């Protein structure tokens, strides 16, 4: 949409207004903004008996909709108390399993797609 540049929610909404109805844009900056959502991370940690450092998360992620969070993988991993080595791609695959119908991230993705 903006060729890899920074966009905010208003930019994404304007794009949809100015283009045909079949165009789709995520509400959040990119897919990692859904995967690194607090609720998703908390669900992942709970399911894997890991401790989630909420104050550290809140200090790191101040705007889950518009911030560029993709590069924060190592910090997010630490916030989840993961001590072992895990690739960013594998971590994201595991997090995706926790985007469940009752989560806000799921509901937003659903609204973007349909």
Higher per-residue confidence, 6 vs 37: 37
pLDDT digits (tens, 9 = 90+) for 42-58: 999 999 999 999 999 99
Residue 3 belongs to some domain of the structure: no
**Does residue 62 fall inside a structural domain?**
yes
Q: Are 60 and 75 in contact (CB under 8 A)?
A: yes
Using one digit for the tens of pLDDT, what is the confidence trace for 64-114? Answer: 998 899 999 999 999 999 999 999 999 999 999 999 999 999 999 998 776
Instruction: Express each pLDDT in 7-40 by its tens digit.
Output: 666 666 665 565 566 655 667 888 999 999 999 9
Between the two ends of the chain, the Cα-to-Cα distance in Å is: 19
Return the pLDDT at 54: 98
Supply the pLDDT for residue 11. Answer: 67
Give the integer Cα–Cα distance in Å for 103 and 39. Answer: 7
Judge whether 1 lies within some domain. Answer: no
Q: Which residues contact 105 (CB under 8 A, 6 or more apart)?
A: 34, 35, 37, 39, 40, 99
In a domain, 2, yes or no: no
Local structure of 90: helix, strand or coil: helix
Number of structural domains in the chain? 1
**pTM of the entire predicted model:** 0.80
CA proximity to 44, closest of 79, 83, 75, 69: 79
* 57 in a structural domain: yes
Query: Is the pLDDT reported for residue 3 higher than 60?
Result: no
Element (H, E) at 44: helix 38-47
Distant-in-sequence contacts of 13-20, Cβ < 8 A, 24+ apart: none
Domain of 102? 9-113
The pLDDT, as a whole number, for residue 93 is 97
């Amino acid at each position: 949409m903006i060729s890899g540049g920074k966009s905010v929610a208003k930019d994404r909404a304007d794009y949809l207004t100015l283009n045909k109805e079949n165009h789709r844009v995520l509400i959040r900056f990119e897919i990692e903004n859904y995967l690194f959502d607090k609720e998703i991370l908390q669900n992942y940690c709970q399911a894997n008996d890991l401790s989630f450092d909420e104050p550290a998360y809140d200090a790191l992620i101040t705007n889950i909709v518009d911030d560029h969070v993709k590069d924060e993988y190592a910090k997010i991993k630490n916030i989840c108390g993961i001590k072992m080595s895990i690739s960013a791609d594998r971590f994201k695959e595991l997090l995706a399993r926790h985007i469940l119908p009752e989560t806000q991230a799921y509901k937003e993705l659903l609204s973007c797609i349909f």
